[in-house]
Structure 1
């Protein structure tokens, strides 16, 4: 019974019995021998199925005047999730698309909504946008500038957040009683749900490993499945696909872009460092980014090397308390050396911003400029 509960949440495709031999498929797409070696090492650490696809189960379209919002419910095996597709009003398909992979921020109740919702009744969303995004639903600015935006909920967030069944199974009675004192979706309910989800991350990390996989593999399998869904749509320009993300979204962008050549341009925001240099106080990141054994064979700049010769922009926050500054600096220097060695140094850019861990208005403008210039 316990296995069935977790299998329903994790997805049968992430179980030990599923095939994980994907490295050769990616290596055959790559140009450089060094990249093939990196793929071989990565394939020993991540348990992926590159052919997974979310099948559209339901779709709801809302007309907002300047843009249209599609809410898509998708299914892969027995797992249901949700994504949003924002379409510009003044542009005919096929659309250039920005795939935005949302961040963590301790905000589990919602996923994709944080990047585009502009509803004054969504107090928690508004506070979150104020803290990290200069109070802006920043994805809408990309839509206004002629890009469609596609954003899925990540595993453990939004429609993929912890189910009531798992909360009841894993959380302590006091936390559950406190949660049930409030109406679902209310400010206090969301606050307590976020607290419970944060407290349960270590336990969930252990259960994922006992299940026979790791957290990044589950995240990436679902990101791959949503990208495969997107690529089947006839209303997108498959030669103009950007992938970007802030914080955890930057981590997700790094790995998804490294595996799929359909992504022509990538922007990694506030998540690039050398993990080997992060021993100590900065090793307080979410469990979601930990791949057991990763630093024995690879580091984040090596994964970024797989994006070459496609376009890559890394936005670093100079006063980001989550990363040592020297590790942020050395990581982009290593990536630059890869791109130069592959004779595509002009395809890589990076910039340090004089702020903490955020994606503020100045950074948003630079991201839009980079996309517009490079697509």
Structure 2
């Protein structure tokens, strides 16, 4: 069984495969002492390599009226994952690109598809967008601005979702037979698959830790590897790279933007708080954001300090049930102080919206305008 887990987690996540000098290159480019102190603490908490890169196995193109869709299958130490690259027909390469990191939402069967795929035949996807996105395929709005969109599947979602071989190991025989009795991709299959994946998060979390790493490290390593793939493409303008994500995607955006300076502008949506002020409430969150020992040394606003002096917009939801308001407010106050200390306060923006945990049409409009205004030449 250990080999099955290794095949799923990826051998690049074994400690002796990782770059032990993670922070060296970043430290050399740090402009501020507080960034160096944060990086030194972070190195002991995450197991990362900034050199990982997906290699392209195949590309399938689909042509739409306003954009070209490239479905990319990539390989990383014998694991396969997928990303989509949406290229607007209204502009020519090299394209400015926004890396969109998808959210969690209990929707494990698909990852990248939630931001762009037509939902006319998919009831669950339609319900999902209605709840979180004001029923919009909002990535298409970026394309209308002439900006390309790159969205990879995260570990445990989409192409990287839990394989049936592991599901069979952990669920009872009746549940497994029920799952495989449905047509893969049908609404019934997706709903049951999502429920099973949610119930197994705790077990997978334990096995990841026993493997010698933690869940955020696996997420971030694959995001790094996909970004490095993107940066190697000739049709990408490396000077105009943005990154944004909602919820879990905001968590991923925070860490990827902190570690990869090629990202010029970032938007963290509905995932900024001080974990240290959430005692008794963090159990509401997915296991995917838990870094053992994190709040002994750092907190989320400290990671945002690594983005300084680049452009950052933090979007918060007043009625977010996942975060106490005072913890959200103190987090952005702390980030603001970092930007002030660096003499670039104007490069940081935050805003609170009068709604629950979602990325609705009003927030989408603000986010897209911010990205577009800061990614132009």
Q: Report the TM-score, using the length of structure 2 for normalisation.
A: 0.98
How far did 1:271 drift?
Answer: 0.0
| Secondary structure at 1:195 match in 2 | helix
Q: Which residue of 1 aligns with 2:209?
A: 209
| Secondary structure at 1:107 match in 2 | coil
Q: Which residue of 1 aligns with 2:3?
A: 4
Question: Is residue 34 from structure 1 mapped to residue 41 from structure 2 by the alignment?
Answer: no
Is the CA contact 1:183–1:189 (under 8 Å) kept in the aligned structure 2? yes
| 1:69-117, Cα deviation, whole Å (9 max, x unpaired) | 0000000111100000000011111111000000000000000000011
- Separation in 1, partners of 2:172, 2:302: 41
Alignment of 1:284-295 (within 5 A): 284-295=284-295
- Separation in 2, partners of 1:278, 1:302: 16
- Separation in 1, partners of 2:88, 2:347: 28
Q: Which residue of 2 aligns with 1:85?
A: 85
Q: Which residue of 2 aligns with 1:157?
A: 157
- Separation in 1, partners of 2:283, 2:326: 15
- Separation in 2, partners of 1:326, 1:206: 31
| Secondary structure at 1:28 match in 2 | helix
Is the CA contact 1:68–1:87 (under 8 Å) kept in the aligned structure 2? yes
Q: Which residue of 1 aligns with 2:257?
A: 257
| Secondary structure at 1:185 match in 2 | coil
Is the CA contact 2:62–2:70 (under 8 Å) kept in the aligned structure 1? yes
Alignment of 1:157-176 (within 5 A): 157-176=157-176
Runs (4+) of structure 1 moved beyond 6 Å? Answer: none
Q: Which residue of 2 aligns with 1:228?
A: 228
- Separation in 1, partners of 2:14, 2:176: 29
Q: Which residue of 2 aligns with 1:327?
A: 327
Q: Which residue of 1 aligns with 2:16?
A: 17
- Separation in 1, partners of 2:18, 2:228: 18
Q: Which residue of 2 aligns with 1:309?
A: 309
Question: Is residue 354 from structure 1 mapped to residue 354 from structure 2 by the alignment?
Answer: yes
Q: Which residue of 2 aligns with 1:344?
A: 344
How far did 1:282 drift?
Answer: 4.7
| Secondary structure at 1:206 match in 2 | helix
| Secondary structure at 1:71 match in 2 | strand
Q: Which residue of 1 aligns with 2:142?
A: 142
How far did 1:284 drift?
Answer: 1.1
Q: Which residue of 2 aligns with 1:131?
A: 131
How far did 1:17 drift?
Answer: 2.3
How far did 1:150 drift?
Answer: 0.1
Is the CA contact 1:282–1:324 (under 8 Å) kept in the aligned structure 2? no
| Secondary structure at 2:29 match in 1 | coil
How far did 1:161 drift?
Answer: 0.1
Q: Report the TM-score, using the length of structure 1 for normalisation.
A: 0.98
Q: Identify which range, 121-130 or 222-231, moves more after superposition.
A: 121-130
How far did 1:23 drift?
Answer: 1.7
Is the CA contact 1:313–1:350 (under 8 Å) kept in the aligned structure 2? yes
Is the CA contact 2:275–2:282 (under 8 Å) kept in the aligned structure 1? no
- Separation in 2, partners of 1:16, 1:146: 41
- Separation in 1, partners of 2:132, 2:109: 17
Is the CA contact 2:111–2:153 (under 8 Å) kept in the aligned structure 1? yes
- Separation in 1, partners of 2:268, 2:206: 28
The number of residues matched between the two structures is 374
How far did 1:374 drift?
Answer: 1.4
Query: Which structure 2 segments of 5+ residues have no match?
Result: none
How far did 1:3 drift?
Answer: 1.6
| Secondary structure at 1:313 match in 2 | strand
- Separation in 2, partners of 1:51, 1:242: 20
Is the CA contact 1:242–1:266 (under 8 Å) kept in the aligned structure 2? yes
- Separation in 1, partners of 2:194, 2:360: 23
Is the CA contact 2:253–2:267 (under 8 Å) kept in the aligned structure 1? yes
- Separation in 2, partners of 1:302, 1:69: 36
| Secondary structure at 1:48 match in 2 | coil
- Separation in 2, partners of 1:179, 1:158: 17
| 1:226-270, Cα deviation, whole Å (9 max, x unpaired) | 000000001111111000000000000000000011000000000
Query: Which structure 1 segments of 5+ residues have no match?
Result: none
| Secondary structure at 1:106 match in 2 | coil
